[in-house]
Amino acid sequence: MVNIVLVHGAIADGSSWSRVIPHLHAAGHYVIAVQQPLTSIEDDVAKVKVALGTIKSGPIVLVGHSFGGTVITQAAHDNPNVSALVYVAAFAPDQGESVAELGKNYTALPSNQHFVPDSEGRLVLPQDLFVKYFAPDVDHKEAEIMAVAQGPCDGARFGFVSGPPAWKEHPSYYIVAQNDQIIQPEMEAFFAERMKAKKTVKIPASHAVLVSHPKEVADLILEAAKAVAK
């Protein structure tokens, strides 16, 4: 058995892993889907570290989607209990980098112009545009539910400057969502190449690849788990 910790991204919640989890359970693994506060990267990292601390034995595969990649990059740094990382259409910054600065190297996506603040200044996508940009290849009714349940996030996370990256310390794997309209697929491919991912899987999917292609996502997580199983 391997411990698998799943970390969702911004404008999402832990239920975004609901189609992946049954595959991991069927393989006999212990799974935690962290429910992120999305109030800051620091708060998200702290929540992941709490989850990691509840696991007392066995290797851990830490998985991040979207901004969850930034979070696992911080949370697994200098953590000997983490055995592997899996990035799912996720940011993987190096030390000193921010998502905002990284984005300047790529053509801006239309979705970037449509994030709006709620009454507390936290960012969301209008529900119709969430379906259009975040989850266009998900069953329409399910995508609408995801849009309703999206988790507003702080805007400061785009400028968060990364510390030492855990992907330099642990074997890492990467899934590129080739039809992503939230993170540029070219940026995702760059992250995978730079970290020298043990395996990179390219899937013709939207940013919601973990919902629209759960088996393919689970298969890579299971491959990482098999590699670290003791």
CATH class of 3-106+158-228: alpha beta
- What's the confidence (pLDDT) of residue 35? 96
What is the pLDDT confidence band of residue 119, given thresholds at 50, 70 and 90?
confident
Quick: pLDDT tens for 10-55. Answer: 999 999 999 999 999 999 999 999 999 999 999 999 999 999 999 9
Quick: pLDDT tens for 174-227. Answer: 999 999 999 999 999 999 999 999 999 999 999 999 999 999 999 999 999 999
Rg (CA), the chain: 16
- What's the confidence (pLDDT) of residue 170? 97
Using the predicted structure, report yes or no on whether residue 230 has a pLDDT greater than 80.
Answer: no
What is the pLDDT confidence band of residue 118, given thresholds at 50, 70 and 90?
confident
Three-state SS string across 164-212, please? Answer: CCHHHCCCEEEEEECCCCCCCHHHHHHHHHHCCCCEEEEECCCCCHHHH
Q: Which residues contact 83 (CB under 8 A, 6 or more apart)?
A: 2, 59, 60, 61, 170, 171, 228
> Does the pTM of the predicted model rise above 0.75?
yes
Question: Which residue's structure tokens are 């855990």?
Answer: 166
Amino acid at 226: K
Count of helix runs (H) and strand runs (E) in the chain:
9, 8
> Average pLDDT of 59-73?
98
Neighbours of 196 (CB within 10 A): 12
Quick: pLDDT tens for 125-181. Answer: 999 999 999 999 999 999 999 999 998 999 999 999 999 999 999 999 999 999 999
Q: How far apart are CA 23 and CA 39, in angstroms?
A: 30
Q: How far apart are CA 38 and CA 122, in angstroms?
A: 9
Q: What percent of the chain has pLDDT over 90?
A: 97
Mean pLDDT, the chain, rounded, equals 97
The H or E element spanning position 49 is helix 41-53
Using the predicted structure, report yes or no on whether residue 120 has a pLDDT greater than 90.
Answer: no
What is the pLDDT confidence band of residue 106, given thresholds at 50, 70 and 90?
very high
Task: Determine whether 56 is exposed, middle or buried from the number of CB atoms within 10 Å of its CB (0-12, 13-18, 19+).
Answer: exposed
What is the pLDDT confidence band of residue 92, given thresholds at 50, 70 and 90?
very high
> Average pLDDT of 110-134?
94
